[in-house]
Structure 1
Amino acid sequence: MDMSSKQLNPDIIIIGAGIIGLSIAYHLLEAAPKLSVTLLEKEKMLGGGSTGKGTGSIRYQLSSPQLRRLSLLSRDFFLKFESTFDAPIWYLEKGCLMLAADEGSWNHLQLTTEQVVADGIPMELLKQEELLKNFPYLHSSRFLGGTLCPWDAYADPYAVLAALYAAVRRKGATVHFGREATKLILNGDTIKGVETGQGTIWSPLIVNAAGPYAAQLAATVGITLPVQPFRRQVYVCTNPKDVPPATPLIVDLSTGFYLHQEASARTVLLGGTDKDTWPGFEEVVDKSVAEDFFLAATETIPSTIDIKWLRTYTGICEQTPDFHPIIGEAPGLKGFFLANGLSGHGFMHAPAVGRIVADLILNGKTEQIDINLFHPDRFAKGYLTEPILLDNYSVKDAVRT
C-alpha cells in the first residue's frame, strides 16, 4: 500500500497498538486534534498481542501507593467508558477477594488495608469467621483472613481495545497492522525515525509501547531497558458448582492462584501459579505444571475438583524488576518516550498511562503523578523497594541493587 507524505512523516509514531499504545494515541488526539499520529503494530490484527489475552481485571487494593494512584487516575475513564465511546464493555464492580493463608501475608493485608483506606478507597478486612460466613465455598481451615474491595472490577479487554481503536481512527490516526518496527534511527542524540519491513517512517517523536518487545526495540539504539517477557498460563474451566454468579475475583496470595469468573458466569479463568517461569516469548502450553496448578485450586476452593477443564492458553506479560512501569523520555535520547513494563497491570492502568504520556509529550511535564517514580533512570540509582509485593498475586521479597 502506498503511503502519503503525511503518513511517512507523522508528528508522532507510537510503536504498539495494544491497550497502552491506543490509550496514548487517544489522549494525544483528545488534547491536540490536529496532530498526525501513526501506530505500528507487529501483529496482523487488533488484539493479537498481550491485551487480547488478558483477564480484564481492574484493581485498587494494591500494596504500592504509586500503583494505587494509577488505578485512581484510571477510574473515571472506565466508569464513563460506555457513555463516552457508546460501546458496551461489560464493566462490573464485583470486587476482589485477597486471601491470606499465613501470618506474613495476613499481617501485610492488614497494613495494606490501612493504606488503601487512607487513600479513600473502600476496603474491608475479613477475619476467618467472617470470610467463611460470606464465602462458604472456600477451604474451611486454610485461610486466616482476607480483604475485599468493592471497587475492584471487570471489563472486557477486547471490547475496550476495539472501542479505543475505532475512536483513534475517527480522530485521524493511522494504524498499520503487520508492520513491525525493526530498528530506531537516530541523528546524534535525537530520535529521527523507525525502520520497518515495509520501509522507513520518519518522526521527531516516537513512543515505545511495544509491550513484551520493548527491550528489543530500545536495544537498537543502545538503551538497556529492564523489561522481560514472561509466559502466563490461563486455564478456562466450567464454573465450580457452589460458586455463585458475579463472585469476586479470588486470589490466594500464598500460591498466586486466582479464580476470575467470566461475565456469563458459565466459565472461569484460573491461573496465577506459574510465577517462576523463565523469561521468553514462546506462547506454548506447558501441561507438566497442570497437576500443581489444580492442586492449588482445590486447596482454595475444594469444589474445583469437579470442574471441567475446557482449554488452556498462554499470554506474555512484560515485567520490570520492581513490578512498576517505566514511563518517561529515555535518558540521553531526545524525542523517544517509554511506556513499558506494566507488569500485568497494563489493561487497568492504560487510561492513566495514556494521559500521563500525552502530558509529557505535549507539555513536557504532568500534574497527574510524580513521574520521577517511574523514570527509567531509577534503576541506576536503586530499585523502588517494598518489603513485600502483593500486587502480582504473590508474596515476594523486593529486589534490591
Structure 2
Amino acid sequence: MTDTRVAVIGGGVIGLSIAYHLAEAGVETTLLERGALGSGASRATADVVRSYFAGNPVSSALAVRSLEAYRAFPVRPGTDLPLRQVGYLVLFSAPEQVAAFEADLPAQRRAGVDVRLIGVEEARERNPLLGDLPLLAAAWSPQAYVSDTAAIVTAYAEAARRSGATLLTGRPVSRIDSAAGRVFTEDGGELTAEAVICAAGAWSPALVRGAGVDLPMTAPIEQELLVTDPLPPGTPEIPCTLHAASGLLSRTRGDRLLVGMGYPGPDREAWRREVAERFAETYPGLAELDLHPAVTGLRDASPDRRAFIGHLPGPPAFLYATGFSGHGLCNAPAAGELVRDLYLDQDPGIDMTAFAVGRQRTG
C-alpha cells in the first residue's frame, strides 16, 4: 500500500508548480522540501519573468507559454500577481553578438518571442542611464515583467493545498529507490508512492541516480544579486538590461537598482569589486553608489542551460524536472504542465526530446 499516489521532491517554484498542476488534475500529491518553501534557487531571482533567452529558443518557448499562465493567474489558480511590464534590453558591443542574434532570430520568432534588433539611439532612449559605452546595437523584447517570486511560490502552495496536495517542509530527502517507489528522508522517514518526481534543483543529480538517471549537470552554483544605495531623486525607471559583453544585468527595484553579473566563484570580494567596476562603466552617473548584497541562493545548471524533463514509466514511475539554469521562474508554469501531462500520459503539446538526458550526444 502506498502513502501517496505521487511524491514530489523539491518545494521551489518548479516543484510547487508540478504539485499544483497534479493536484488540480485530481492526483493525490505529497511534496517534500528540505527547508522552507522557495528557500533554494527560488529565493535568488531578479523577480523578472521574460520570454527571450538568447540562443535558447527551447527555453524561450517554455517562457512564452509560462508568461501566458502568469497573466492568467487571477483566474487560474486564482491569485492576483504583481506584473509590471518593463521590457528586456540586451546591449551588443561586438559584431559577432549582432550576428548571433540575427542567426537566432527565426527560431525565437517560431517560439513566439516578440524581440527585434534596435539601434543604439533607441537603446539609449529606453535606458537613459547608460553611459558612453561602445555599442553597435541592442535586442529589445517588450515581453518582460517585474513580478514577485515569493508571491508566486505562495500562490502555487496555497492553490496546491486547496486542491488537496500535502506540502511537507523541513524534510530533506536522502535517497530514492525508484524501483520500489520509496523516498527516504534524512530524519529516518520513508514515503512510498506510485510515482516519484524529482524537482530538487541543485540537489537533483545525486537523488536521480537512485532511478538510474545520470544528469550531466554542472556543480551547484551560488547565485548572488546586489543592490545599490538609494538612487538620486528623479532617476527614471529602466528596463531589465543586460550588457552582453560583461554579463552585467540590472533593473529598477523600488528606489534602487538590483544588479547581477554571472556567479561569484570562490573569491566573492573580488567578484563584487569586478561588478562595481562594470557597473560604474555602464552607469557612470551612478558610479558613487555603493553595492550591497541583496539575495543569495544555490542554483542548478545544465551544460546548455536547458532543463532536463523526463519520464521513466512504471509502476512505479519516475519523473524529473531540473537543470533550469536560472530560467526556473520564467519556465515554472509550463514545466508543471509538462510533468503533469507526462505522468497522466497526455500529449504535452511539445517535442519532449529537446529536454532529454543525452541530447548533447544525440543532437
Indicate whether the TM-score tops 0.5. yes
For residues 160 and 20 of structure 1, the distance between their equivalents in structure 2, rounded to whole angstroms, comes to 11
Number of the residue aligned with 2:197: 207
**Aligned residue runs from structure 1 range 2-401, under 5 A:** 9-31=3-25, 33=26, 35-43=27-35, 45-62=36-53, 63-186=55-178, 190-196=179-185, 197-228=187-218, 229-238=220-229, 240-241=231-232, 244-262=235-253, 265-274=254-263, 277=265, 286-330=268-312, 335-363=317-345, 365-379=346-360, 381-382=361-362
For residues 252 and 118 of structure 1, the distance between their equivalents in structure 2, rounded to whole angstroms, comes to 25
Q: Is the 8 A contact 1:191 1:206 kept in 2?
A: no
Q: Is the 8 A contact 1:16 1:210 kept in 2?
A: yes
SS at match of 1:89: coil
For residues 210 and 120 of structure 1, the distance between their equivalents in structure 2, rounded to whole angstroms, comes to 29
For residues 203 and 234 of structure 2, the distance between their equivalents in structure 1, rounded to whole angstroms, comes to 38
Task: Give, in angstroms, the shift of residue 122 of structure 1.
Answer: 2.5
Task: Give, in angstroms, the shift of residue 310 of structure 1.
Answer: 3.6
AA at the equivalent of 2:71: L
CA RMSD of aligned residues (A): 2.4
SS at match of 2:350: coil
Using the size of structure 2 for normalisation, the TM-score is 0.91
Task: Give, in angstroms, the shift of residue 71 of structure 1.
Answer: 1.2
Q: Decide whether aligned partners of structure 1 residues 9 and 258 sit closer, same or farther in structure 2, where only a CA change above 3 A counts.
A: same
Indicate the larger mover: 80-89 or 202-211.
80-89
Q: Is the 8 A contact 1:127 1:144 kept in 2?
A: yes
Q: Is the 8 A contact 2:240 2:249 kept in 1?
A: yes
Identity %: 26
User: Unaligned regions of 5+ residues in structure 2, if any?
Assistant: none
Task: Give, in angstroms, the shift of residue 178 of structure 1.
Answer: 0.6
Residues 169-188 of structure 1, C-alpha deviations (whole Å, 9 max, x = no match) = 111111111111111124xx
Q: Which structure is richer in relative contact order (CA contacts within 8 A, separation 6 or more)?
A: 2
For residues 335 and 191 of structure 1, the distance between their equivalents in structure 2, rounded to whole angstroms, comes to 10
Number of the residue aligned with 1:398: none
User: Unaligned regions of 5+ residues in structure 1, if any?
Assistant: 279-284, 385-401
Task: Give, in angstroms, the shift of residue 366 of structure 1.
Answer: 2.7
Equivalent pairs counted in the alignment come to 360
Q: Is the 8 A contact 1:273 1:293 kept in 2?
A: no
Q: Is the 8 A contact 2:14 2:335 kept in 1?
A: yes
AA at the equivalent of 1:11: R
Q: Decide whether aligned partners of structure 1 residues 292 and 122 sit closer, same or farther in structure 2, where only a CA change above 3 A counts.
A: same
AA at the equivalent of 1:20: I
